[in-house]
């Protein structure tokens, strides 16, 4: 991936705040030259991934920064000003409003680059590509999936959750190049557009990832270390775990349908993924117990073997280390003993958190810390997980409750055992109790990954905290659309 020069990142970084719907490339390389051969198309797509991984977006704000602070994961005293205000749900002051604006603009700029790429590749001859239609379809499929992915997070951040039945038209869905001002959509209509793109992407990616180049997908080493398992078509076809691969698209369809409230289809795509790629330990599996060890050199810190999709930031460890308050420590996780109550054997407490010296109940996460094997700034240390197999389990469990309750609790036990929890959870629980169990597991699972906030929002549940729980409301769950970007 390193050798692919990230050209489109220049487009993202040089576009002004007022042209998010109309990005004009300002690098010295013309659009015609960039899209004249396969390398140009590959560089363009890689540029979108790199642009998404910056600190303004998934390199910090949409993972371990703003979104994790909002979910009340951190002790407020260990936060800098911006994250501290986000944890208080103040989204429009001098510290937070620039971040809210940067996320909106940054995601739409990436969407514009997806549209430009899709526009150019639609007319490109398959003969330009090493693997002919296979290569062309992979680039097309990933661009479509990314366009859907970015729109979906805009919807989850800037529009009310579907459960509130608030269909105020707020979100423009941009699917053309050059971009034109679109009529704003309500949340249900916007989600339908996301689903359309994901279904198209699934079809484009299926052949390569499940048949032609399945060796690049079928193991942890293959997905996250292409050097061990070279794929047909060269380096670009490797590192599928950090790209919008076929399995990630299935997971995204399950995620989007559940958010929309369509449990039938959410179950359909979650089960397709589980049945084809998990059951019987096929491609994806939870880490073995020996990965959780007292020896930090060999300890698994991000359990990537169950990760479907992730971003990658070269400066992640430095950026995380540089985030400190006056006592010089990274963000401290609050409420650990409460979160892991009755599950003291959970690997996520014993091996992914570190108790602060002299502070009995204060922990920090090892997920992005430079400790021993992380001291080499490569591989796992730079990865930002976004979609996990555990989330697929959550979806299956919640959707199965109404279909086959015994199977739902069987999967819950399977998930808990994989994380070291030996305690058996009673199967005589109502759906609200089950959702509370899943939320509590997500509080352990998604530390520093940003997904917990969206779980609270989808269910319209109170956000749990060491102090009083934060009641659900649009003030808590919905960001204001930047004034300069409102469409009237």
Q: Which two tokens stand for residue 106?
A: 């940054």
Q: How far apart are CA 269 and CA 249, in angstroms?
A: 9
Determine the Cα–Cα distance for residues 135 and 124; give it in Å rounded to an integer: 12
Host H or E run for residue 307 = strand 307-312
Confidence of residue 469 (pLDDT cuts 50, 70, 90): very high
Q: Is the pLDDT of residue 361 over 80?
A: no
Out of 3.40.50.300, 2.40.50.100, 1.25.40.390, 3.30.70.270, the CATH code matching 8-485 is 1.25.40.390
Round to whole Å and give the CA distance between 15 and 17. Answer: 7
Q: pLDDT tens, 419-458?
A: 999 999 998 899 999 999 999 999 999 999 999 999 999 9
Q: Is residue 198's pLDDT more than 50?
A: yes
State how far the Cα of 258 lies from the Cα of 394, in Å rounded to an integer. 10
- pLDDT > 90 fraction of the chain, expressed in percent and rounded: 75
On average, the pLDDT of the chain sits at 89
Q: How many CB atoms lie within 10 A of CB 19?
A: 13
Task: Determine the Cα angle at 190 with ends 101 and 176, to 5°.
Answer: 80
The residue ranges of every structural domain in the chain are: 8-485
**Does residue 7 have a pLDDT over 50?**
no
In the prediction, which pLDDT does 14 show? 32
- Decide if 302 contacts 326 (C-beta within 8 A): no
pLDDT greater than 70 at residue 486:
no
**DSSP bridge partners of 333:** 74, 363
Residue in 201, 171, 195 with CA at minimum distance from that of residue 183: 171
Is residue 51 within 8 Å of 113, Cβ to Cβ? yes
Please, are residues 96 and 146 in contact by the beta-carbon 8 Å criterion? no
Measured CA to CA, the distance from residue 346 to residue 323 in angstroms comes to 28
Task: Please give the Cα distance from 9 to 11 (Å, whole number).
Answer: 5
Task: Report phi then psi at 338, rounded to 5.
Answer: -70, -45
Buried b (16+ CB within 10 A) or exposed e, 268-287: ebbbbbbeebbeeeebbbbb
CB-count exposure of residue 80 (10 Å: 0-12, 13-18, 19+): middle
Q: What is the pLDDT of residues 88-102, one digit of tens each?
A: 999 999 999 999 999
Residue 3 has pLDDT above 50, yes or no: no
Round to whole Å and give the CA distance between 265 and 248: 16
Structure tokens at 94: 């001098």
Asked if pLDDT for residue 358 goes beyond 70, the answer is: no
Alpha carbon distance 460, 146 (integer Å): 26
Pick from 47, 60, 223, 22: nearest CA to 146: 47
């Amino acid at each position: 991936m390193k050798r692919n020069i990230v050209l489109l990142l220049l487009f993202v970084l040089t576009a002004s705040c007022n042209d998010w719907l109309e990005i004009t490339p300002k690098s010295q390389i013309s659009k015609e030259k960039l899209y004249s051969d396969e390398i140009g198309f590959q560089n363009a797509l890689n540029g979108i991934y790199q642009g998404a991984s910056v600190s303004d977006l998934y390199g910090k704000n949409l993972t371990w920064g703003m979104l994790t602070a909002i979910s009340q994961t951190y002790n407020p005293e260990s936060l800098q000003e911006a994250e501290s205000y986000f944890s208080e749900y103040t989204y429009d002051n001098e510290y937070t409003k620039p971040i809210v604006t940067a996320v909106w603009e940054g995601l739409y700029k990436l969407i514009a680059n997806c549209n430009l790429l899709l526009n150019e590749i639609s007319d490109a001859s398959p003969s330009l590509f090493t693997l002919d239609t296979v290569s062309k379809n992979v680039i097309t499929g990933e661009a479509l999936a990314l366009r859907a992915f970015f729109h979906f997070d805009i919807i989850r951040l800037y529009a009310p959750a579907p459960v509130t039945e608030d269909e105020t038209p707020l979100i423009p869905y941009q699917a053309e190049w050059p971009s034109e001002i679109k009529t704003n959509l309500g949340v249900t209509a916007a989600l339908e557009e996301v689903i359309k793109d994901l279904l198209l992407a699934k079809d484009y990616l299926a052949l390569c990832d499940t048949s032609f180049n399945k060796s690049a997908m079928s193991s942890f080493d293959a997905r996250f270390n292409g050097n061990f398992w070279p794929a047909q078509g060269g380096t670009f076809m490797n590192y599928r775990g950090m790209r919008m691969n076929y399995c990630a698209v299935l997971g995204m369809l399950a995620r989007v349908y559940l958010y929309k409230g369509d449990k039938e289809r959410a179950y359909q795509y979650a089960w397709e993924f589980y049945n084809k790629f998990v059951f019987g330990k096929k491609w994806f599996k939870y880490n073995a117990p020996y990965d959780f060890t007292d020896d930090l050199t060999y300890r698994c810190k991000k359990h990537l073997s169950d990760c479907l999709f992730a971003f990658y930031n070269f400066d992640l460890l430095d950026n995380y280390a540089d985030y400190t308050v006056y006592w010089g420590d990274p963000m401290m996780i609050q409420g650990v003993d409460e979160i892991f109550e009755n599950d003291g054997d959970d690997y996520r407490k014993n091996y992914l958190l570190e108790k602060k010296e002299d502070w009995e109940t204060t922990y920090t996460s090892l997920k992005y810390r430079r400790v021993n094997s992380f001291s080499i700034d490569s591989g796992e240390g730079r990865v930002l997980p976004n979609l996990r197999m555990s989330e697929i389990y959550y979806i299956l469990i919640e959707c199965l409750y109404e279909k086959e309750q015994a199977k739902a609790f069987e999967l819950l036990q399977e998930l808990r055992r994989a994380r070291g929890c030996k305690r058996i959870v009673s199967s005589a629980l109502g759906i609200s109790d089950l959702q509370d169990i899943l939320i509590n597991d997500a509080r352990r699972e998604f530390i520093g990954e940003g997904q917990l906030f969206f779980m609270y929002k989808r269910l319209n549940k109170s956000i749990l905290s060491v102090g009083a729980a934060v009641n659900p409301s649009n003030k808590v769950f919905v960001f204001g659309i930047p004034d300069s970007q409102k469409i009237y």
